[in-house]
Amino acid sequence: MKRTSRIALGGILSAVAVLVLLLTIFPFATYALPPLAGAFLIPLVIECGKKWALCAYAAVSLVALLIVPDVEAKTLFIVFFGYYPIVKATLESMNSRVWEWLLKLLIFNGAAVGGYTVLSQLGFSLDSFRIEGVAFPLYGFLLLFLLAGNVIFVIYDIGLTRFLPLYFSRFQPIVHRLFQH
């Protein structure tokens, strides 16, 4: 792919990722849309390589810091979902599935703890968690939340993997036609 085509594809996919993050103004979207925004970097990894995808991740992260109003959503994108599709490509090239999954889980758990730490350092009160307006003490649920997060992460990872055949069969021909390899 020509350099100009890579720049155009990176710009378009980055803009879509930012747009998806801006949709987190809706309450249900805080946790659902950052993973989707990160998934828009997968075609960039495939078509242009990891370096281009990392540059797009950096650009989306910077723009998100400046204009996305939902602090939790942009934190989720920056500390994990934005770069994970890029890291996933590297980890899945390993020969050992056991080491691959151990590293994936280690990265996820490190990002979860890091994200929690970042939010608490920014002054966000994480002393309680609200479900339907009822506050629950967070300290009693942290381990449960982390365990649930690991289950959701595994489902997310499998979902990304299952998206790839769809990308190759339906979307890659369109990308190739639009950006004329």
Q: Please provide the average confidence, as pLDDT, over all residues in the chain.
A: 89
- Domain count for the chain, please give it: 1
Please report, for the domain that includes residue 140, its CATH number: 1.10.1760
31-75 tens-digit pLDDT? 899 999 999 999 999 999 999 999 999 999 999 999 999 988 999
Residue 131 belongs to domain spanning: 3-179
Residue 126 has what pLDDT? 57
92-120 tens-digit pLDDT? 999 999 999 999 999 999 998 888 887 77
Q: Is the pLDDT of residue 9 over 70?
A: yes
pTM of the model: 0.86
Give the per-residue SS3 of 30-59: HHHHHHHHHHCCHHHHHHHCHHHHHHHHHH
Please tell me which residue, 60 or 126, carries the higher pLDDT value. 60
For 177, list phi and psi in degrees, rounded to 5.
-70, -40
- From 67, 42, 4, select the one nearest 166 (Cα to Cα): 42
Residue 136 has what pLDDT? 60
Residue 121 has what pLDDT? 78
Residue 181 has what pLDDT? 58
